[in-house]
Amino acid sequence: MHKITLILGDGIGPEVAEAARRCVDATGVQIDWDVQDSGAKVSEKDGDPLPARVLDSIRKNKVALKAPVTTPLGEGFRSVNVRLRQELDLFACVRPCRTLHGLKNAVEGVDIVIFRENTEDLYAGIEYTAGSDDTKKLIEFIGDTKGKKIRSDSAVSIKPISKYASERIVESAFYFAESNNRKKVTGVTKSNIMKESDGLFMYVAKEVAKRHKIPYDHVLVDALCMKLVQNPLQFDVLVLPNLYGDIVSDLCAGLTGGLGIAPGANIGDEYAVFEAVHGSAPDIAGKGLANPTAMVLSAAMMLNHIGEINAGKKLESAVEEVISEGKKLTCDLNPTSPVKTNEMTAEIIRKIR
Ligand code: ATP
């Protein structure tokens, strides 16, 4: 019996969490789900969208399946997703982007795995409010040390990139590439402009690549976006700092059929949290319109992670079969004759053998 934290989230979170849970249970793997609430409603009650009990549960169980959580807008709330990744040191965000056979709105043959650094960069949460005393001091300091003038009404965000964090994400990408017979690793930065932060990431990636046999190249992030749209089949494993990883993940999700089918994992040395690339999609919440696939495929990644490889494969094959048949799909994949979340989930469960 595996004990796993299930975070319900909000928006479409509870709907897709329930779908994934039903699919995992249908594989026959014995799981004792430790169900945890988080997000906007919890924040109204407890004053924090990510209360300590959620983190404690993951620390105890080591593995979580997490539905999307909305970060309340406004001052004082940092993204729940970012906090989780930083507090549990889930340094590698792994996002496989593979076209499932039969999808009409996808580029055939894409098979890219994204390794996004998860703990630093502009996501580190070091931000200075426009007009505050600290911001004034920072602007003065920058003027004194760099001779650069920043307008006094500016807000400022800091972008830290360390050798340590760059090295461990690039090592993870190479380890994955080698253990899964991938062809190439590509490092992605904007090192021609951010010569220090991105320059360091690029330098470290090149050094790590020397320790491995698998081919390595480097592409600037703007060129990568163009090349991905023109010919995504030339890419294999991509390793990127946090912000570019976020943006390129959505681009790749778009190439392979949209956010509704893009799974992901956040992995550290001690803990792992599996979650879809998409957010809580408040526009379609509570209507039964959400595509459960991204969350179900994230659950399949989770099954692999806990050693239930067979069950993970069964679940993936079931999803692929439902998609290639093209009959029971939610409206993001089949706008002309869509089915509801529950029906697509039931169809996936029917195909689990
Ligand atoms: P958040 O603020 O939590 O990131 P968001 O609405 O800004 O939420 P996403 O939730 O990532 O961003 O989704 C963007 C859009 O993609 C949604 O508005 C929705 O229309 C669509 N979408 C996302 N996930 C799904 C899904 N599982 N099924 C169908 N459509 C989806």
**pLDDT value, residue 78:** 77
Asked if 190 is an active-site residue, the reply is: yes
CA of 180 to the centre of ligand 1 (A): 30
Using the atom order of ligand 1, give the atom closest to the CA of residue 16. 27
Check residue 105 and give its pLDDT: 85
**Is 245 found in the same domain as 116?**
yes
Is the domain of 52 the same as that of 86?
yes
Residue 100 inside a domain? The answer is: no
Candidates 66, 190, 314, 328; catalytic one: 190
Residue 113 sits in the same domain as residue 248: yes
Domain edge (last residue) among 255, 290, 310 = 255
83 in the same domain as 4: yes
304 falls within a domain: yes
Check residue 75 and give its pLDDT: 60
Reply yes or no on whether 351 is catalytic: no
Domain shared by 1 and 84, yes or no:
yes
- CATH (domain of 334): 3.40.718.10
Same domain, 190 and 293: no
Domain hosting residue 295, numbered range: 1-91+264-353
Q: Ligand 1 atom 9: the closest Cα is on which residue? A: 279
Cβ of 259 below 6 Å from ligand 1: yes
Give the residue from 200, 227, 255 where a domain finishes: 255
Task: Please write the tens of the pLDDT for every residue from 118-175.
Answer: 999 999 889 999 999 999 999 999 999 999 999 999 999 999 999 999 999 999 999 9
Q: How far is the CA of 17 from the centre of ligand 1 (A)?
A: 15
Q: Which residues of the chain have pLDDT under 70?
A: 72, 74-77
Q: Does 173 lie in the same domain as 58?
A: no
Residue 101 domain flag: no
**Is 283's C-beta closer than 6 angstroms to any atom of ligand 1?**
yes
Per-residue three-class SS string for the chain: CEEEEEECCCCCHHHHHHHHHHHHHHCCCCEEEEEECCCHHHHHHHCCCCCHHHHHHHHHHCEEEECCCCCCCCCCCCCHHHHHHHHCCCCEEEEEEECCCCCCCCCCCCEEEEEEECCCHHHHCCEECCCCHHHHHHHHHHHHHHCCCCCCCCCEECCCCCHHHHHHHHHHHHHHHHHCCCCCEEEEECCCCCCCHHHHHHHHHHHHHHCCCCCEEEEEHHHHHHHHHHCHHHCCEEEECHHHHHHHHHHHHHHCCCHHHCCCEEECCCCEEECCCCCCCHHHCCCCCCCCHHHHHHHHHHHHHCCCHHHHHHHHHHHHHHHHHCCCCCCCCCCCCCCCHHHHHHHHHHHCC
To the query of whether residue 222 is one of the catalytic residues in this protein, the response is yes
Ligand 1 close to Cβ of residue 294 (< 6 A): yes
**What pLDDT does 125 receive?**
86
Res 74: pLDDT = 63
Regarding whether 236 and 111 lie in a shared domain, the answer is yes
222, 348: one domain: no
Q: Is 271 one of the annotated active-site residues of the chain?
A: no
**Is residue 150 in some structural domain?**
yes
Tell me, yes or no, whether 155 and 165 share the same domain. no
281 C-beta closer than 6 A to ligand 1: yes
**What is the predicted pLDDT for the residue at 71?**
76
Q: How many domains are there within the chain?
A: 3
Q: Which atom of ligand 1 is nearest to the CA of 290?
A: 28
